Amino acid sequence: MQKLVLMALVVLSAACQTKTKTNNAEKNEATTKAMAVEQLLANAETMIDTEITIQGHVTHTCKHSGKRCFIVGENPELSIRIEAGGQIQGFNRELTGNTIAVRGVLKERRLSEEYIAQWEEKVKLKEDKEDGTAETCAAEMSNISNMRQWMEANNKNYYSIFYVNGVSYEVVD
């Protein structure tokens, strides 16, 4: 009887080790298929509403709700926002500085010329009233200028902001 129990334990142990190897292989496969931020943004217009896996370095998590984080790739100038959803309850602040692979659906928000013009007027009013710091207003005006330059260069009457509705993520070693 003891031999039978011992053999059963050996078989179960082997089965568990095989399952662990399979799970690790699945994780590695998902991470391998992950796109870089630069790659995603270069092809974003053709991938809207598509499920993707993206990998990047977490630069910021929303400290109030934890429902958002931002990741970058090799180029720190290019970032994308990840929204918590699906299995993601939120992003811990401790994620900042780590690399994660996120599975989710790519979305687009379009800022119209009219919206950008209204935003510019609000910034100018803020400058006149000295409601904001000069640095903040200058940064916003710079963003507005960059958006308009992009729209002109791409012959668009809107500015696209791409983000990912996250479904799940894992920290990459």
Q: Which tops the pLDDT comparison, 14 or 44? A: 44
- Give tens-digit pLDDT for 120-157: 998 888 877 765 566 667 888 899 999 999 999 999 99
Task: State the Cα–Cα distance between residues 26 and 10, nearest whole angstrom.
Answer: 24
pTM for this prediction = 0.74
Share of the chain above pLDDT 70, in %: 77
**Strands, DSSP E only, in 89-157?**
99-112
Average pLDDT of the residues of the chain: 82
Instruction: Look up residue 124 and give its amino acid.
Output: K
C-alpha of 38 from chain center: 12
